[in-house]
Amino acid sequence: MSRIDMLRESRNSTWEQAKRLLDRAKNEKRGLYGEEERQYEALTADLESIGAQIRRLEDDERSARQTEETMRGLLGQPASRRQSEVADEIRNTILTRSNAPLEFKTAEEEVRSYFRPGIERRALSTSTGSAGMRGVSFFDRVLTHMVDESAILSAGATVIQSQSGEPLRIPKSTAFSTAAIVTEGAQIGTSEPTLDTFTLNAYKYAFMVYITRELAEDANFDLEGWLARESGEALGRAFGAHAITGTGTGQPTGALTGATLGNTGPTGTASSFGTHTTAGQGGDLLQDLYASVAAPYARSESAAWLMRSATLAAIRKLRDADGRYVFSADIPTGSGAAGTILGRPVYIDPNMPAMGANAKSVLFGDFSKYYVRRINGIRFERSEEFKFDTDQIAFRCVARMDGALGDTTGALKYFAHSAT
């Protein structure tokens, strides 16, 4: 049994223990108190920890496969480039100043389109500024860690790659044609669809990191992997915050900003979801939010929930009208989700508002309708001259991105807590 399978079994066992505590309290018509509450909090913390371990192992497996594919492609080149030469080049070019381009490509490129929403990945050709970085393998790891830090990307946002950063106008329909029964010989009426556009710009996210020459020369660990993780997490945190609550003025427009109201909790749910045994509260509120999203969006492969960790902790206790828990610990393989609610994956993002008066704490809908624009991929560049006086190598990571919700009429809906 693999480590991931063992963790999945452990996660399911942990969730069953947590449900037993909740069921005992339910049968005795009371809440969790004292030691039971502490046990439940410890179990939910274990659930989150195990889920994080599963996502990390899946990420490592993806990175290993990408590296293996890259090396397989390299070893298929002419015999003059022996395996040892390839290995030396990958390690040593981080210290070189060669202007010669170094290109590595995987044997299989990911195909995607409007009908296959998700993360678009492009090959990165290393040139003067980025010599020494494995093209596809390194870029994919940066992007993977960006996904880890931005739940919008994990949930299946549609990514558009463009070569230049001028404003990009994207058409959208705001009303469809309608048909009607026409009697024989009667005039057929006209019904024109209406179109509109929304614009994606290009905001620059960037940071720098300095590596001592000694570290670059003597490192006995995966320096590329570390740099990839640092780059991805830094960019993901910055863009991820704007992708949720960005104002659209001088920054991307967040998914929550563009979403519309699905439902509001009744009085008494200012900082909770109320009592699940009371009609119109508890799990009923999530059912109502689900139902507020048009069926085509709710059925989409990219339909998902988005909330922060503390909100999910409260939702784990909720049941539907038949007494079944609305949350399930089952995680779709490779999704990076924390579980499912009403059969749809749930993603955690600390940028989502906390439960509170009038707070929009839960977002649900088709996340493929949120568009992320990326200009020319991610630039990862090095310079020896900048920190010449300290004998350090400077690495700069730059990404030009924007984001906005393409359909603001109902693709994404949010739940708002009551004012009191």
Cα 225 to Cα 331: distance, rounded to the nearest angstrom? 26
Q: How confident is the model at residue 345 (pLDDT cuts 50, 70, 90)?
A: very high
Q: Which residues of 30-62 are buried (b: 16+ CB within 10 A; e: fewer)?
A: eebeeeeeeebeebbebbbebbeebbeebbeee
Per-residue pLDDT of 241-278, as tens digits, reads: 999 999 999 999 999 999 999 999 999 999 999 987 78
Residue with tokens 């009592």: 275
> Under a CB-based contact definition with an 8 Å cutoff, are residues 210 and 392 in contact?
yes
Q: Which residues are CB-contacts of 398 (< 8 A; sequence separation ≥ 6)?
A: 204, 205, 206, 378, 379, 381
Q: Is 155 in a helix, a strand, or coil?
A: coil
- β partners of residue 371: 158, 404
Per-residue pLDDT of 280-304, as tens digits, reads: 898 999 999 999 998 889 989 889 9
Q: How confident is the model at residue 394 (pLDDT cuts 50, 70, 90)?
A: confident
Cut 0.75: pTM above it: no
123 or 156: which leads in pLDDT: 156
DSSP code at position 223: H
Report the mean per-residue pLDDT for the chain: 77
Residue with tokens 């670059």: 216
Residue closest to 155 by CA, chosen among 324, 349, 395: 349
Q: How confident is the model at residue 96 (pLDDT cuts 50, 70, 90)?
A: low
Q: Is the pLDDT of residue 74 over 80?
A: no
**C-alpha dihedral (244, 143, 234, 55), degrees to nearest 10:** 80
123 or 341: which leads in pLDDT: 341
> What order of strands is seen across the sheet that includes strand 412-416?
260-264, 412-416, 360-366, 303-307, 344-348, 340-341, 327-328
Q: Note the Cα 94 to chain centre separation in Å.
A: 30
Which residue type, as a one-letter code, is found at position 321?
A: A
pLDDT attached to residue 306 = 95
Helix runs in 158-252, H state only: 213-218, 223-245
Domains of the chain (ranges plus CATH)? 90-174+191-420 (3.90.1690)
Q: Is the pLDDT of residue 119 over 60?
A: no
CA distances to 149, 246, 390, 400, 403 from 239, rounded to whole Å, are: 9, 9, 31, 10, 9
Per-residue pLDDT of 128-180, as tens digits, reads: 333 333 333 455 555 556 665 678 888 888 888 888 888 888 877 666 678 88
